[in-house]
Amino acid sequence: MLSDSERLLYLFGMSNQMAEHELDRVETEFGIDLKRGHVGSIAADQIYYPQIEQELREEAAYMAPQYEMFYSIEKTIRTLVRDVLEEEKGEGWWSTDTIPDNIRSECEHRMQREIDTGTTVRSADPLDFSTFGELGKIIESNWNLFGGQFKSKKAVERVMANLNTLRGPIAHCSPLAEDEVVRLQLSIRDWFRLMD
């Protein structure tokens, strides 16, 4: 289980990312550089990047902070799932009945498919091959282990469903409407509020 200080650290990190997102928006909207020392973007690739339409490049720049926010919250939730299950069930937790059979099978299938491509495998941990929706199902099916982390099971299900809905356009290269960007930020705040 996460300690109070670890939870506060997670909340601080996500709040910082939201502030960074707002500063990115201000820089884009007003065409200014606040000299925050950002890492160079793909624009530095002068061979191929100029061949991509300007409108698509602007859309990608708009969506980059949303991707970063979702990537961060998903990795945070994945780490929480791993930490709780390892603490409660020991190092061999993946092979126990804590993971629903269909999810275990799908994750192992995805992992093997990636191994079979001959490319670098993203991870040796099968949990890293679970979808975001599957993470929610793992939490739900092990509520007896996760219930002490959160205020309400229904609220966790609602927040996970909201995040999973927002994940679609982010992961599949569609821009989020401004309201949905706000909804993403609020859903992330809701997640951490559930852990207070």
Q: What is the pLDDT of residues 97-123, one digit of tens each?
A: 999 999 999 999 999 999 999 999 999
- Return all residues near 96 (Cβ < 8 A) that are at least 6 apart: 89
In the chain, where the domains are located? 4-194
Q: So what's the pLDDT on residue 12?
A: 76
Q: So what's the pLDDT on residue 46?
A: 63
pTM of the entire predicted model: 0.78
Contact 70, 173 (CB under 8 A): no
Question: Of the candidates 67, 76, 72, 70, which has an alpha carbon nearest to the alpha carbon of residue 139?
Answer: 76
Q: So what's the pLDDT on residue 44?
A: 55
* Cα atoms in the Cβ-side hemisphere of radius 13 Å centred on 4: 1
Helices 178-194, 54-89: crossing angle, 10 deg rounding: 10
Q: So what's the pLDDT on residue 187?
A: 97
Residue numbers in the chain where pLDDT is lower than 50: 39
